[in-house]
Structure 1
């Protein structure tokens, strides 16, 4: 067994503490937090031969909290939720409130998506959008070409 002696007076220990205390509290390499410590929901986008599928993770929200807007080729998903409560007792009044909002925008490919048939639904904390492709660009199954 080899014993290794550590010199705690080296410069790595102060850097560790400086790094720890200079970080933003909620932004330790997680891109779901902005520099103002507000959350931005994670988004998954999947493409298949028929459509694009967009999933927004937003637990605790209700479908009425969302707005999905299409302006030209810019798809914008936003949400606002505000809660407040007040408790009044003999010696004190307590007022609490919270406000959450976010907005994510995505530019849809031109001449590829069928803008008139975009569907959205919210279920179990997940907002799901289906953005169908136009018939002309849908992937067709392979076919055998007969040689004459």
Structure 2
């Protein structure tokens, strides 16, 4: 005996499947072919300033560019994967990203870019960003 089911033409049950791949190229995380690898960060704060840890696996140290402008921090990197195919091989699936990734964010206080430091080890970029000490206000005399 066959199972009989009732179909509701006004049901929204299948709508998510309809749009499943529509916005996929706009995503910046996930690691699937054609999608950016993304830069994941952790930001901690203490009295002296901020510490930022950014995961950037597989990126060469020379390919990383960090810029500080006031309280805006920008991290950019170029990710390159060499051709690893041997003669007679073909690519069945490629999920490793090749291209440029970037991330920009603002912090609650201006950064003293003269004292800021960066270290890259084991795929993690660590930024030490001390706060800029506010200068004393100068009172202007009116003549």
What pairs with 1:1-148 in structure 2 (closer than 5 Å)? 9-10=7-8, 15-24=12-21, 32=29, 37-71=35-69, 73-85=71-83, 87=85, 89=87, 99-107=98-106, 112-135=110-133
Call closer, same or farther: CA 1:11–1:125 in 2, change over 3 Å: farther
Cα distance, 1:26 vs structure 2: 8.7
Cα distance, 1:132 vs structure 2: 0.9
Kindly indicate whether the alpha-carbon contact (under 8 Å) linking 1:41 and 1:58 is maintained by their aligned counterparts in 2: yes
Kindly indicate whether the alpha-carbon contact (under 8 Å) linking 2:39 and 2:102 is maintained by their aligned counterparts in 1: no
**Gaps (5+ residues) in structure 1?**
1-6, 138-148
> For this pair of structures, how many residues does the alignment match?
124
| Residue of structure 2 equivalent to 1:3 | none
| Residue of structure 2 equivalent to 1:4 | none
SS at match of 2:114: helix
**RMSD between aligned residues:** 3.8
| Residue of structure 1 equivalent to 2:141 | none
Cα distance, 1:15 vs structure 2: 3.6
**Gaps (5+ residues) in structure 2?**
136-143
Kindly indicate whether the alpha-carbon contact (under 8 Å) linking 2:118 and 2:127 is maintained by their aligned counterparts in 1: yes
Supply the distance in 2 between the matched residues of 1:59 and 1:86 (Cα, whole angstroms).
Answer: 18
What is the CA deviation profile of residues 17-52 of structure 1, one whole-angstrom value per residue up to 9, with x for unaligned ones?
33124123895xx8746xx73232122222111111
Supply the distance in 1 between the matched residues of 2:98 and 2:57 (Cα, whole angstroms).
Answer: 15
Kindly indicate whether the alpha-carbon contact (under 8 Å) linking 2:36 and 2:97 is maintained by their aligned counterparts in 1: no
TM-score, normalised to structure 2's length?
A: 0.61
Supply the distance in 2 between the matched residues of 1:115 and 1:85 (Cα, whole angstroms).
Answer: 38
What is the CA deviation profile of residues 39-92 of structure 1, one whole-angstrom value per residue up to 9, with x for unaligned ones?
321222221111111111222223222111234554321000222327574xx6
